Chains A and B, each alone.
Chain A
Amino acid sequence: MTFLRRRKVPYSSKPGTPDPSFEKEDDKKNQYKSSQRPSYSSKNWSCWDNCCWLIGVLCSVWCFLLFLYNATPDSIPQYVSMAITGPLPDPPGVKLRKEGLTANHPVVLVPGIVTGGLELWEGRQCAEGLLGKRLWGGSFGEFYKRPLCWLEHISLDNETGLDPPGIRVRPVSGLVAADYFARGYFVWAVIIANLAHIGYEEKSLHMVAYDWRLSFQNTEVRDQSLSRIKSNIELLVATHGGKKVVVVPHSMGVQYFLHFMKWVEAPAPMGGGGGSDWCAKHIKAVVNVGAPFLGSPKSIALHFSIEVRDIANLRAQAPGFLDKDVFGLQTFKHLMRMFRTWDATFSMVPKGGETIWGGLDWSPEMDSFNVSEKKGKNNSTHNTVQNTKSNVCNTKGVNYGRLLSFGKEWAETHSSKFERADFKNVAKGDKVANSSNCDIWLEYHEMGSKAIKAVADHKVYTTGSILDLLHYVAPKLMARGASHFSYGIADNLDYPKYGHYKYWSNPLETKLPNAPDMEIYSLYGVGLSTERGYIYKVATPSDCHIPFQIDTSVNGDSEDSCLKGGVFSSDGDETVPVISAGFMCAKGWRGKTRFNPSGIRTYIREYNHSPPANLLEGRGTQSGSHVDLLGNFALIEDVLRVAAGASGEDLGGDRVYTDIFKWSERINLQL
């Protein structure tokens, strides 16, 4: 407060006004000091006034600055960044336009999980008046003010996986659905802007709108989303003089579109009834971006203990923070409950079992495991591998195939050296005390301590046995997921059972459509450490808690070890490991295989991650991470070229940084 009062000094004693009376007063001032001050402040300028004054100054200055900010031309930040980094390269759209590329094939964008917007159409009492507001994406509407209300509306019914009664939340349609996830956080906006540079506009661009919380077939049952895609693609082809569409799915959208391609050719009640040449007639190329064709190990941790690397680290650093009742809200628990009602999360469970992801003692990424035991001659190869992947860790001694281990020792010891107890036959029962007041959504409290111990005694789980584990610990949840998704490998694709929609999104259990002219691209980022396996521990038992946690205290032996904080990482784009994104295009569909009977050409385009040079670049133009990849200039250029009519050969065929072909070789899959 004294400052505030002194603020007046500059006004009153302006230098250069020597006044005789001014100086005469000097002597008296000391006497007045004590008496004048309080009277002055109480009479004219109370504390309340000072507050007002302060706020007034702040407001005025703020308004003034705001005015200045608005008055300056928009290009100022650009000049600043230009001055620092030198002229920015042309965005690919502008560059290609100079080369003479123009809009050719209509483009269909398929957003992935979480990035699409959702809006409210019918709500409970607490959401009165928020109709049409965004529940997800954008600024999250007005809902941030009412978090519990929001959770209630964004969750689905726990048993049907559809709307809870009295609530209708629907996907936003149009390009606005997923151009920005939140204000300033682009998803598709950069690609859209660049497409617009070469002449695309609303009529030749279509953003698929689907509710990414639902299982794929349910989007059709509830919203007719698949029919809408079909009708829109047909319209685009018809209004563009028969030019086929280029489809650009991202993340889970990749699987969604796989599902669509099967659905559209399947006969009517279950499928879209488009006939067996629909894809050949309407689709030029499918440009998959960040494709989790075979799922992502991240989803295992999410389903098993509802945590991933970041959450686990947070828990380790601030124990109790996540579990504490903040204002009685129990934030984390509510979020977990919400997450569990979304069927679509099952689509990300790793597919293909041990054949793809590796067994107890081998995995496709394992360059050094078997080799290093043989010593000597292989050291050189090992080094080169390290050099090429400087960003990623040392894979020495890592058993990626062991997706989940209880304790570091079990993760490393050779399988012949330990016994594993069977858990499936251990009866559940003897409930943990005081569990009756827990919510029903978690099935852990029904297990009992014996079962928990049995699970931990099994020590190591591979991709194959992890499904058994999930079925054991959460039977209801998995039963719901299993009716919509399948994670196996087909022995014989001609079995009639593969006509069922639950197999359609699994590339290992479906044939690609009969469309020899089509092209399939897999575009993904590499050079970032991606979760690939976990080390778990049994948590101290307490009420209503998940009994298993990632053991964040476990670290690898060396600095660059792949094991950090209880998580094994491998190469990938931070979410999807290379093996999941690349295998189908590198081997599973390459040439004529049983999964690709018509010999659709496939191409792999990898984009090595390099972080943004400075803060002004934002999320970078050469990023390889899962979502930021959509702003990668090299990727955008490829997409634009394909849309403008180039074929895979014109782009330069495969562009590979990793050992994906070597890894794919190791996978022993009958083709």
Chain B
Amino acid sequence: MVSFLRLRKPKYVEPAVKYCSVGFESFDDQSPPSTAPRLGNLWLETNKNKNQTKRRQAKEHSGRCLDSCCWLTGYLCTVWWLFLFLYHCLPFTVVHEVPELMPGARLKREGLTALHPVVLVPGIVTGGLELWEGKPCADGLFRKRLWGGGFTRNPKRPLCWLEHLSLHNETGLDPPGIRVRPVPGLFGTDYSAPGYFVWDVLIKNLAKIGYEGKNLHLAAYDWRLSFQNTEIRDHSLSRLKSKIELMYRGNGYKKVVVVPHSMGVTYFLHFLKWVEMPPPMGGGGGPGWCAKHIKAIVNISPAFLGVPKAVSNILSAEGKDDAYIGAMASGVLDSGILGLQALEHITRVSRTWDSLVSLVPKGGEAIWGNMDWSPEEEHVCDLSKKRYSRFSLSNNNVNNSDLKIGFRVKDPVNYGRIISFGKAASVLHSSQLPTVDPKEFLRTTASEFDEMSRESIRKIAADKAYTAKTFFDLLHFVAPKMMKRAEAHFSHGIADNLDDPKYNHYKYWSNPLETKLPDAPDMEIYCSYGVGIPTERSYVYKLSPSSSCKGIPYRIDSSVDGEDDSCLKGGVYFTDGDENVPVLSAGFMCAKGWRGSTQFNPSGIATYVREYRNKPPSSLVERGGIKNGAHLDIMGNIALIEDILRIAAGATGEEIGGDEIHSDILRMSERVSLR
């Protein structure tokens, strides 16, 4: 309001002054005989001019136009204010979500109260980052959000922003002179839009049944780093350990319920191993720490075995509306300064993030399928929602094979070929394809895209297909530095013998196929994820047009489409999942890998698969939808929230209904042969 008032004054003065000067000029020109008072003359002058105004509207068209524009702006502003005013006058409940729909209030009436402390572990890109030390171009941004909270003021300087977001290309830690750190705290601050929009609904519902700062904690960690580096640089794992111990003691020795999401799932797996390992590599909690402190782990949208999307991200920074690309693009593309090079810049930055490698599919061909086989091969791809939902409804009955035959696609989809160059390579039988020769990947210079020879790029592509095992060669070829760095922190294989002492190294800890779960028979592990959304599973690639040979050499061939009900759309083969994570990755460990006492789960921790079928929002008022199953939106799914609340209030897996399965996950797991 103050600024308004201040602005008003000059506006009043300005026209008056202008007018006066003009008035005097014409006064002199005409030199009227009488010595009438000036003011009177001014007044006459006005009227004269007005008459002329009216008669010569055509001539002064520009003046009128400006006035009209001003008028229009004013009109719009006024109307807008009026609506804003009305909006604020409305009672709160009319405009906002109806609280009755939210399970928190209902469960409170049922008598549920906070019992077990809850720890939330965010996934990739959902945590806020703030600046602690920067280059001169970031002056004045000290402790301002670089990530989350709407990127305050950063899009003005996109290159500066990207520079601060990238890590050191060799160490994977801070570049010299730059320190960017995770933002702790449950809520974003008042100052900026909340960065943890993902957790907002869940936190609000937890608060309804009595949770607060002392028994609810959000583990903040820098999601760009490799997991062990978060401990080395920020002591994030030690902090988490100390927080869990404190909450355990401070809440009457009640074990905690951990709720990790997306990449947080593997981060917490890493923590489980770390905390029981002896220092210096581990946290020194000793065996039994998990059994003593953790009641249940409710993994939401878990990416246990990685996501194929990560491959396309690393290869070409593409991938359908990916979270982080989209987020970065909104910051960078809008600025328009970088123009077409934006994707290259994003690739350059994201290749310094070790954590991306943790999302690359794990388990190789045994899990993800080889050239001619994949666990999902019977999957029915019908992207039209109606038939799909009929299918999945009937799917509860396993013997319902008639229905399935009706939907069977003519070309069997080779999901195992995660990357194929050209549609032919994705369809033909493997015997007709050239084999991948690892020698082709040998190159003299180990650097990024820029120095790759055009020829070798073409050679690698030529009509080949890559599976979950062989695409590592491809990644090594495309992003050698990143892969080299990341190999030291992550492993993507399957362990033959888990007692091999080499598995004590931290790089195996986040891979569920190369670690044992802790010895905690009373613990429970839930896999809660959405299903019923087409999810990227494999890609058809092509070479980039030669003009951009300096940039990214490969692109998804978005011109390739299958038949109407095919799984192939725009160069991407889809399967069932939550838009980011295929069902196989999310559900396999709970459905088979850890079910019962297996080599990965020696103490027989109980596992539960909880699937939530996606139902798109029925009206616009339901923001995000309360039955949504998509990767991020599932955090607002009321069924999921109710489950978490019940578990936090003390319920066991049996009490909330055991497994709830809509997809093919059990049959898919059957097909995966794993000891």
Contact = CB atoms under 8 A, between A and B. Distances in A.
A417 to B, nearest CB: 56
11 contacts: A3-B16, A12-B49, A12-B50, A51-B78, A54-B74, A56-B70, A75-B139, A133-B190, A173-B186, A202-B234, A203-B239
B7 A61 contact: yes
B435 interface: no
B112 to A, nearest CB: 14
Contacts of B12: 3
A36 B212 contact: no
A227 B48 contact: no
Given A29-B47, A29-B51, A55-B77, A121 B207 contact: yes
Interface string A40-56: 10000000010111111
B38 interface: no
Interface stretch (A234-242, A255-263, A321-329, A424-432): A234-242
A653 interface: no
A8 B67 contact: yes
A171 B213 contact: yes
Q: Specify which of A36, A131, A171, A197 lies most central, judged by the most chain B CB atoms within 10 Å of its CB.
A: A131
Interface stretch (A134-142, A480-488, A507-515): A134-142
Contacts of B239: 203, 235, 239
A196 interface: yes
A56 B77 contact: yes
B439 interface: no
A386 interface: no
Given A10-B22, A25-B48, 15 more contacts: A9-B45, A9-B49, A11-B63, A40-B54, A56-B72, A75-B139, A121-B211, A129-B92, A132-B200, A134-B190, A173-B186, A223-B213, A227-B246, A234-B242, A238-B238
A15 B50 contact: no
Nearest to A30: B44
A13 B26 contact: yes
A26 interface: yes
Interface in A181-210: 183, 189, 192-193, 196-197, 201-203, 209
B15 interface: yes
A202 B182 contact: yes
A59 B246 contact: no
A72 to B, nearest CB: 11
B85 interface: no
A141 B53 contact: no
Interface in B161-201: 179, 181-187, 189-191, 194, 200
B63 A12 contact: yes
Contacts of A36: 47, 50-51, 54
Nearest to A70: B156
Interface residues of A, number: 83
A173 B71 CA distance: 49
Given A53-B71, A62-B7, A227-B246, A170 B212 contact: yes
Interface residues of B, number: 84
A159 interface: no
Interface in A6-45: 6-13, 15, 22, 25-26, 28-30, 32-33, 36-37, 40
B386 interface: no
Contacts of A121: 207, 211-213
B79 to A, nearest CB: 10
Q: Specify which of A53, A134, A183, A228 lies most central, judged by the most chain B CB atoms within 10 Å of its CB.
A: A53
B292 to A, nearest CB: 16
Nearest to B190: A138
B140 interface: yes
A235 B238 contact: yes
Contact of B189 (A5, A9, A70, A176): A176
B213 A170 contact: yes
Contacts of A224: 214, 246, 250
B657 to A, nearest CB: 29
B402 to A, nearest CB: 50
Given A7-B19, A33-B44, A128-B99, A56 B71 contact: yes
A49 B46 contact: no
A55 B47 contact: no
B410 interface: no
Nearest to A128: B92
B80 to A, nearest CB: 10
Given A9-B19, A122-B207, A138-B191, A231 B74 contact: no
B550 interface: no
Contacts of A471: none
A59 B250 contact: no
Nearest to B251: A224
Contacts of B48: 25-26, 29
Contact of A62 (B3, B56, B69): B3
Interface string A559-598: 0000000000000000000000000000000000000000
Interface string A105-134: 000000000000001011000001101111
B17 to A, nearest CB: 10
B545 to A, nearest CB: 36
B30 interface: yes
Given A7-B15, A56-B72, A13 B49 contact: yes
B15 to A, nearest CB: 4
Given A53-B67, A60-B70, A168-B212, A29 B44 contact: yes
A52 B78 contact: yes
Q: Specify which of A13, A59, A231, A238 lies most central, judged by the most chain B CB atoms within 10 Å of its CB.
A: A13
B203 A132 contact: yes
A183 B200 CA distance: 24
A36 B3 CA distance: 38
Contacts of B213: 121, 170-171, 173, 209, 223
A671 interface: no
A31 to B, nearest CB: 10
B46 A9 contact: yes
